[in-house]
Amino acid sequence: MTEKQTWSQRFETVLHPAIALFNASISFDIELIEYDITGSQAHAQMLSHTGIISPEEGEQLVTGLEQIRQEYREGKFQPGIDAEDVHFAVEKRLTEIIGDVGKKLHTARSRNDQVGTDTRLYLRDQIQQIRQYLREFQKVLLDIAENNVETLIPGYTHLQRAQPLSLAHHLLAYLQMAQRDWERLGDVYKRVNISPLGCGALAGTTFPIDRYYTAKLLHFDSIYANSLDGVSDRDFAIEFLCAASMIMVHLSRLSEEVILWASEEFRFVTLKDSCATGSSIMPQKKNPDVPELVRGKTGRVFGHLQAMLVIMKGLPLAYNKDLQEDKEGIFDTVNTVKACLEAMTILMREGLEFRPQRLAEAVTEDFSNATDVADYLAARGVPFREAYNLVGKVVKTSIAAGKLLKDLTLQEWQQIHPAFAEDIYEAISPRQVVAARNSHGGTGFEPVKQALIAARTQVLQQ
């Protein structure tokens, strides 16, 4: 639409300038321009393939569209607000370049199926990119894990010391979360990769189009079976935002751990200067801004998911302008998730260092081996619940005496229960406590080594 143009002969006056601005999406949907061009090229090819336009006309449309792509890439095409949205902007420019033939592009199409096509093409690309980012993140976790099978770290439940762990095991938990994220995105991709092109405004078209032809050109797996559904479905966007939110949940949990680990109270990691910031007033401070920002940005991604759900919940079929509100949230989510994955990958790779000395101390200074004392007795025939109660009492008296379990003499152990022998000391050493947990998926060194091998294969999968 040019500045002074009305919509059609039906309209007598132009839009109020403030309403034109309110209505326009060009300021943000310009992000879709290359996908819009690609989609239009496929549409033009289909129009000529089906004889709706001549081959020459088809050729002109495709070439003209390609020129717009080049102009855009070179910064020579910067449509303003008068274009309303990216679709009109491209069509208008096309007509300027190739003349009246450009006006044939929109035959048998509506902006409704067009914008749906563009959004899907965009998300398809972005999903693949985010999956790559996830792989990089996983590889870093795996590298650290491989070097730290025998590094021990306190494991927590309720943020209370529970049982010591192999640090590798701890990091592999995040690798598994990222693996599900990777798989989840692959699953969302299937629902993104369906073509709405040719659904028209809502009811299909009177022209003898070939929807399979455009779907094939655009590498869609299939086409929407119902035109109303095709133009108004945003399930794929909700699913994407949900998968993105899940990634953020995982990144935010890791962020929270890093923030705790870097505190004076834990001192499990040192933040490197390349990934930490100082305070403008307190010279001693080194702040974990990266994980804090990731944790903080989680909120806006959840917000976009919530917004999309609310946008959809009351929409009657088919297209409603409300749907224009899908884009900013999707774009921001894509950019935020990529930025957070990249930042966390860098942080884990070179922004922090685990402190083995401090970790080794940490696993010896508590009662996180108490379960192993109970297991020791249970393995020697004492019913577990009885052993559990007995050890509870020992913990209580030890705390009162200012002792740890390792400080009890053999005599003291045997007073508690005659089944205790010299090997209790070995059984409750942090290393042994970890090494003994050889159940499948457990933190024992053997299952962890197996898990590392499996994870290596997993992350190589593309």
Distance CA(186)–CA(165), nearest Å, equals 32
Beta pairing partners, 195: 223
Q: Closest Cα partner for 429 from 373, 350, 386?
A: 373
Smallest distance, Å, CB 25 to ligand ARG? 4
163 versus 333: smaller Cβ distance to ligand ARG: 333
Smallest distance, Å, CB 238 to ligand ARG? 16
Contact between 371 and ligand ARG by CB under 6 A: the answer reads no
Contact between 25 and ligand ARG by CB under 6 A: the answer reads yes
183 versus 328: smaller Cβ distance to ligand ARG: 328
Smallest distance, Å, CB 243 to ligand ARG? 22
Distance CA(327)–CA(438), nearest Å, equals 49
Beta pairing partners, 155: 163
| Enzyme catalytic residues | 158, 279
Q: Are 43 and 214 in contact (CB under 8 A)?
A: yes
Site string for ligand ARG, 26-45 (x = CB under 6 A): ---x----------------
- Binding to ligand ARG (CB under 6 A) within 314-353 occurs at 319, 321, 323-324
Tokens of 62: 């495709």
Q: Are 359 and 151 in contact (CB under 8 A)?
A: yes
Contact between 10 and ligand ARG by CB under 6 A: the answer reads no
Distance CA(334)–CA(94), nearest Å, equals 29
Smallest distance, Å, CB 306 to ligand ARG? 20
Q: Closest Cα partner for 112 from 229, 217, 33?
A: 229
47 versus 311: smaller Cβ distance to ligand ARG: 311
Distance CA(245)–CA(234), nearest Å, equals 16
Q: Please, which residues have CB within 8 angstroms of residue 256's CB and are 6 or more apart in sequence?
A: 291, 295
Tokens of 314: 């009351």
319 versus 413: smaller Cβ distance to ligand ARG: 319
Site string for ligand ARG, 72-111 (x = CB under 6 A): -------------x-x-----------------------x
Q: How many residues bind ligand ARG (CB under 6 A)?
A: 11
Contact between 115 and ligand ARG by CB under 6 A: the answer reads yes
Contacting positions for ligand ARG (CB under 6 A): 25, 29, 85, 87, 111-112, 115, 319, 321, 323-324
